[in-house]
Structures are given as C-alpha cells and as structure tokens.
Structure 1
Amino acid sequence: MSGYEKMTVDVLRQELRRRNLPSSGRKPEIISRLLQSDDLEHVDQVVDELPRGDKDGHDAQPARAVTQRQPSPFRLLSQARVAKEHTRMKEMRNHIVLWRKPLVTLYNFSLEMGVQLHISYHKLVDNRKTVAVSCLALWWLFLIWYMEGPHQPWIESLERTTLWSCYWIGLGILSSVGLGTGLHTFLLYLGPHIAAVTLAAWECMSVDFPSPPYPEEILCPSDSSSQESLSILTIMSKVRLEAFMWGAGTAIGELPPYFMAKAARLSGSSIEEEEVEEELEALESAEDSGVITRMKRAIHHLVQRVGFFGILLCASIPNPLFDLAGMTCGHFLVPFWTFFGATLIGKAIIKMHIQKMFVIVLFTKKYVEGLVDIMGLVPVVGPGLQAPFKEYLQKQRKKLHQKPGAAKSSSPSWLSRFYQGLVIFMVGYFILSIINSTAQQYAKRQDDAWLQSQMAKEDDREET
C-alpha cells in the first residue's frame, strides 16, 4: 500500500494541483494519477543522470540529477492543516441560518445577491449583441401582440394558454430545484387542482366547465353531458396540459445538479468540485446499510451502468433522491440531451400519468364519500372529525351548481383555512431556506478564497 492511501481526499487534490494535474475524480483515480506522475518523474531523473555527449562526440560529465518532487513532510503537514480548517469552516457555515445568526445571515445574503448581480451584469455586457437582438425581437413581438386586428382573438387565446403553462412550469421548477430544498408544489398546488377537477367532474357529470371562470374557478355547465361520456380518461385529458407543464418544470429543475457536477469534472477549479467529489466518494465507501444509503447507491450504479434507460427509470417513479442521478450523469459526462431527454420523458409523461391516475381514482366521488363515512365510525373522535369534511363537500356542491356572477360565501370552512395556513407555512419555509443557502454560499466563497491564499503562501514558502 502506498503512502497516498493514508491521506485524505483534500490533501491528495492539493498535491495534484501543485503538480499542475487535474484534481477531479474519486480517491482511487486520484491515487492512480499521483502514482503515474511519480513514475514519470523517476524516469526523467534516470534520463538526466545518463552521460551525454557534446556536438564533437566527447563524453560530457553526468548531468545533475533532478530532485524528485515528492511531497515534503512540511508540505504534507500544512496540507493536512488546511484540510482540517476546511472541515471546520464547513461545519461553521452550517450554523449560518436565520434562527441562529439572523444578522450575519442577512448580511451574507445581501452580499451574495450583490455578487450575483455583478456577475449577471458582466455577462450581459459580454453578450451585448445577443441582448440587443433579443430586446429588438421582444419589441416587435410587443407591437404585434397589442396591435389591433383580426388576429387579436387568436392572440388572447395564446396569451391565456402561455400564462397558464408558464405558471405550472414555474411551480414544477420550484418543486425540484435547490438540491432538496424545493417547494413541494405537487402536494400544495397540482394535486389539489386535479382533485378539485375530479370532484367537480363527477358532481357535474361533465368536464366542459365554462371558461372563464375555469381554471380559476370551476362551475358546472348548464347542459351537462350524459353519464356514459364521463370516464377517468376524460378527466385525465382535462388536466393533461397542467400536469405535463408541471412535469416539464420538474425536469428543468433537475439541471443545476447536472451542470454543477459536469463543471466540477471538466474544471479542477470549480467552487462546487470538492462537495460533488466528496459526496460521490462517500457514497462509494459508505459502510452504512440503511435504506436511504442503499437507495442512493442503487441509483448511482443504475445510472452509471444503464445510461438512458436507467435515467428514464429513475425519473419515471416518485424519487426524492433524483438529485443524485443528475450529479452522477454530470460527473460521468453523460450528454445533455441524453440526460434531459430521459428526465423529461420520465417526469412529464410517464410519472405524471401515474400520479394523475392515483389522484383521480382516490378522489372519485364514491371513494371520497365512503372515506367520509368511515371517519364517522371512529370511536369518540369520529363524528367531530367527520363534520368539517361533510361541511366542505356540501359547500363545494352548492358552489359548483351556482350561476356565474352569483353572490359568493364569505366564510371559508375550517378545512380551507387549514390548507391556506399550510401553503403559507410551506412557502415561508422555502423562502427561509433560499436565504440560508444563499448566505452560506457567500460564506463558502470567502472561505475558499482564504484557503487558496493560504495554499499560495505555503507554495511560496516551500519554493524559498
């Protein structure tokens, strides 16, 4: 066993950077790269020690041997100290949250937002030709959009569909973006929307809801269709656009882990490189036999070995660990369209049809009424638990059958107030998590700059 096996991954990566070699990869790859570098240096040393002749053919004195660039004990000690400091800084950054350090968190959040605005401004300046052409195209589109003419009915229909689609795409992105800190918009928005459409369809025996007020508000049509024309497939087709756009948004939200890991693999100086490499390395060497660890390892191996169909399988089932699939694909340089195509098909088509079917079947009228009846059979608390649900269903029936423009009830039910409170709580928690992660990102930026300066000082000290 070489001495490199006893070193940490951080120390090994620092040694690779000192030798001007790529520092990406897992620990076995890093050790192999260092051993190959040692072998090449040994060959160069032997060649330099061989006697050389001058241009007249006379033997010259043996050249001075080149000192093999093995890491000195002093340098290894300094690298270990820096690695230890890096671990300590990472633990300190986890404490930068609003409920522990509110002033520090808000200060770092403000500075990071300033840094991001500065970076965005320079990107716009660097691509000013593209920005100018885009602004000109948007100006002409604006003129055509609001110009009077026979195309206005088509424009209005396109505008409603576009805004409706963008709304669900945005909710889908919020649901999956952020490496696990996303807002669970299926449970808060899409699921209740499908449930409301399902309950209304079975109550009205039709899905031809008048528009407007649908989709903001659902009212039964005046001429309901016959019972034979309504089926589960009919209800699924009614919510197809919303479900597909939400699924496409979740696929777009899975791109940041992919790009982060890909950049870390292609560039040895990426800010996120160490975190990506450490997570994949820890997953490979983890001795924990827990369910989550086994699931992560299975997803990692499936995506790595099967490729497109492995990504498709992971994306086609409800999978809270899909971020790892994106990181694995980026780390192994899977082509973008292979990853995104499989993710889009799996999330926006296959998985969404499964979720739609589940919600529609669950909220079929007879199942909902049967569930409410079962609640009343629970001893002691049954009638009290059953009452608000019965009240909510009765109000929904009256609301569905009222005429457009009729006076609306101003007293929301207990269940509606609870749902509104839950939505406010989840949105607030999501905003807090964004503020915390942004503040920690600025702290990491400062810590990385300090560690790089320390390593530069150690390099200068060793050279002198």
Structure 2
Amino acid sequence: MPRVRKPNAVKANNLKFSDGEAKTRKLPLKTENLVLWKSPLRTLKYAAMELVSLLQHYGKRLMLHRKLVMMFAILLTIMFIICQMPGYHQQYVQLVKAKGLFIIYWAGLGVLSSVGLGTGLHTFILYLGPHIASVTLAAYECNSLDFPEPPYPNEIVCPDDENCSVMPSIWNIMAKVRFEAFLWGAGTALGELPPYFMAKASRLSGTDQNDPMNQIEELLERKQHGEKLNLFERGKVMMEKFVEKVGFMGILLCASIPNPLFDLAGITCGHFLVPFWTFFGATLIGKAIVKMHIQKIFVIIAFNENLVDKAVDMLVLIPVIGRKLQEPFKAFLQNQKNRLHKGTSLPQNSSNIIQSVFEYFVIFMVCFFISSIISSLAQNYHKKLRNPKKNV
C-alpha cells in the first residue's frame, strides 16, 4: 500500500517541517540586515507593525488597571484647571512649570543618551558638553557667573554691573552647571534600567530564549573551545565577570568611567537577581556624581580661554588648510563673545561655517538615532515572524 503524504508537511533537505516552520524558511532576509539603508520599505513596514503590536499590548495592560488610569486622568484634569485659573497662585504655577520643564529636559536628555542598548543619542556631546563650554567661555569673558535669569540658562548675557566682576575659578564654574549636570547623569542612570528589568524578568519567568545573558554564555563557550574573540567581545566577557564578582563596588566603578559596555552590567545584575537599589544606587552615584564631575572638569579645562586661543593659533601649523581653518574659528569665537554683551549689534548674516557644521552634525545624529529605533522595531517584528512562539 503506497504511503500517503501528509498535507501539512513539507519535505526539504531530507527533513520535514510544519507549515509554520516552512513559512519561516521562506524568509530570505536576515534579521541583522533589516535596516533602513538596506531594505527601507520592508523595514518601515515591519516597524509600523511592531509599533501597532506594542500599542495593542500596552493598551490591553492599561485596561486591566482602569481605576488607576481614571485616577491619573482626573489628576491631570485638576492640574490643567489650576494652571488655567487666574489668581495669586499663578506665580507659583509659573515657577513650578519653569523648574519642572528644566528638570524634565535635562533628565530626559540623559535617558536618551543611555537607553537603547548602546544605540542612544549622544546628548552629552550635542547638548550638555556645549552648555558647559558656553558657560566656561562666558565666565572668562564676563569675569562673572552672575548671568541674569531669565534668560539664563537658555541664553547667557553678561551682568551689567562690571564693578563686582571677579575671575571665577574652575570650582565656581562647576558649581554653576552642577544641577543640570546631575540631572543629566541621573537620566543616564534611569536609562540603564530597561536592560536590568528585561534580564531579571527573563530569569524569573524561565524563558531562556529571551534571556540577554545567552549572548554572554555563547561567548564563554566559544572562548572555552579555543576560538579567538575580538576586542569588543573580550570586553563583554570581562565586564560580566567583573560585575558578577565585585558586586556594588564593581557596578560603581564601571558607572564612574565612560563605558560603552555598561549595558552588560545591567543585564548581568538582572540575570543574577541583584537587588534593585544595589544596582540603581551604585549606577546613580557613579554616573550622576563621580563621572559627571570628571566630565565637567575635562570640559572646563579644555575650554579655558587661554587654551582655546592657543589651540586656534596652532591651527596655522596644519599644512595647506591651516589658515583657512583658523579664520572661521576666530570668527565663531568672536561672534560668541559678542552675543554675551547687551546692545552689541550683530550682522544679519552672522552664521559661521563652524556653527553650520555643528548644526548639520546634530541633525545627522538625531536622524541616526531615529533610524536605529525604526530598525530595532522592525528587527523585533522579524524575530517574531521567524519564531511565532515568542510573543510580546
């Protein structure tokens, strides 16, 4: 009697696959190649589907807490009414708004810098670093740190009273930018929490396939079999071992230095169920206090007026293009100094090539950050197609 072939099985390479597995094998695109500059249309499509999936998932979870959502909505309505009502309380409302937006702005920039497992927006280079540099240059130009507020910190203007001007020290400048620097550092610490919670939830649920520690375990197996690891992979293994053995002091030390592999510290702590306050406390102290003071000192010393003038003068030593580079830098610095003084008329076309290059650089970094988010969403959706058992 001839063998009857099952309708929902496909034979390929002498192996049998179910309908779902056969459908998976038809996907020719590798997950890591699903990026905007290689497959833009499919990447946008998958990213949109993943976004819809996430909205549906979290929408359903919100519906399970209707009372909490209603209380939050009522609280927002009351706050909106208070903000719109005229009265004596408006001066306090405006104060809370100004300080609240200031805190949200700098802390939010810190979160953007560290969130996304290494794909965050480098907001220190784009925002906090230039802010500290501007305050430093203004301090030496104005011989004071008593900038009028407002417009400070959105705009720096030298004080009118020149009689009480005193050359500020490095410590005075550090104190001037301490609050925004601390907020930025605290934001970077908050941005390290998603890898910690992701690894901890994966360990507690027992879903080993989703465990981020699998990547480290694969690297350890490759090392045991004598396979050579590259510098970045060796750094990952060293980071995991260091945090696992040293604990609180290890997390504090790793958070206190510029460390692109610190996401692995959060993954390791979550996997080994390190208490939340042990991980977050060490991360907060390291990033918001220790590392921020190191970064502030570096920027303030680097933008000392004498050092900046010497650096601009040394541009002449560059062959061929030295003098061409020196002119726009001098014009840029002079333009910045003129802006610090009230009543100084600036030409209408006062934009400089240095300023334009920095603006284009900021636009490029923001676009790259957005594209990395889109690619990450698309890759997550593609992984679900390849393995339907992995659900959000």
State the distance in 2 between where 1:155 and 1:233 align.
33
Query: Partner of 1:435 in structure 2?
Result: 374
Aligned pair partner of 2:197 in 238, 255, 259:
259
- The CA distance in 1 between the partners of 2:389 and 2:61, in whole Å, is 26
The residue type equivalent to 2:53 in the other structure is V
Residues 173, 374 of structure 1: CA spacing in aligned structure 2 closer, same or farther, 3 A cutoff?
Answer: same
Alpha-carbon distance in structure 2 between the residues aligned to 1:89 and 1:305: 42
Are the aligned partners of 1:263 and 1:270 in contact in 2 as well (CA < 8 Å)? no
CA distance in 1, matches of 2:237, 2:253: 15
C-alpha contact (below 8 Å) 1:86/1:451 kept by paired residues: no
Determine the structure 1 residue equivalent to 2:9.
none
Residues 216 and 237 in structure 2, CA contact (< 8 A), matched pair in contact too = no
Q: Is the 8 A contact 2:140 2:167 kept in 1?
A: no
Which of residues 71, 77, 92 in structure 2 aligns to 1:133? 71
Deviation, structure 1 residue 146? 3.5
Number of aligned positions between the proteins: 370
Instruction: Report whether the alignment pairs 1:213 with 2:173.
Output: no
TM (norm. structure 2) is 0.87
Superposed displacement of residue 379, structure 1: 3.4
- 2:75 is matched by which residue type in structure 1? A
- Cα 1:307–1:451 shift into 2, 3 Å: closer
The answer on whether the counterparts of 2:145 and 2:176 sit within 8 Å (CA) in structure 1 is: yes
Pair 1:90–1:250, CA change in 2 (3 A): farther
The Cα offsets for residues 354-399 of structure 1, whole Å up to 9 and x where unpaired, read as: 1011001100111101111111233332211211111111111111
Alignment of 1:340-379 (within 5 A): 340-379=280-319
**TM-score when scaled to structure 1?**
0.74
Confirm or deny: 8 A CA contact 1:255 1:326 kept in the other structure.
Answer: yes
| CA displacement, residues 237-276 of structure 1 (integer Å, 9 cap, x when unaligned) | 1111111111111111111111111111111237622xx1
Q: How big is the shift at 1:161?
A: 1.4
Task: Name the SS of the counterpart of 2:30 in structure 1.
Answer: helix
In structure 1, stretches of 5+ residues that fail to align are 1-76, 453-464
Q: What's the RMSD between the two structures over aligned residues? A: 2.6
What amino acid maps onto 1:378 in structure 2?
I
Equivalence for 1:49:
none
For residues 264-309 of structure 1, the C-alpha deviation after alignment (integer angstroms, 9 at most, x for no partner) is 1111237622xx1321202323343543333322221221011111
Instruction: From the superposition, tell whether residues 107 and 289 of structure 1 become closer, same or farther in structure 2 (CA, over 3 Å).
Output: closer
- 1:281 paired residue number: 217
Deviations 1:145-198 (A, max 9, x none): 333333322322221111011111111111111111111111111111111111
Q: Which structure has the greater CA radius of gyration?
A: 1
- Aligned partner of 1:44 in structure 2 is none
Query: CA, structure 1 residues 425+151, in 2 after alignment: closer, same or farther (shift >3 Å)?
Result: same
Distance 1:225 1:253, change over 3 A: farther
Q: Which structure has the higher relative contact order (CA within 8 Å, separation 6+)?
A: 2
Return the alpha-carbon distance in structure 1 between the equivalents of residues 122 and 368 of structure 2.
11
Alignment deviations for residues 31-53 of structure 1 (CA, whole Å, 9 cap, x no partner): xxxxxxxxxxxxxxxxxxxxxxx
Matched, 1:268 2:213: no
Q: Which residue of 2 aligns with 1:448?
A: 387
Residue number in structure 1 paired with 2:276: 336
Name the CA distance, whole Å, in 1 between partners of 2:40 and 2:205.
Answer: 35
Matched, 1:122 2:87: no
Distance 1:394 1:359 in 2: 20
Whether contact under 8 Å (2:143, 2:166) holds in the other structure is: no
For 1:398, which of 332, 338, 343 is the aligned residue?
Answer: 338
Unmatched tracts of structure 2, length 5 or more:
1-14
Q: 1:33-72 residue pairs with structure 2 within 5 A?
A: none
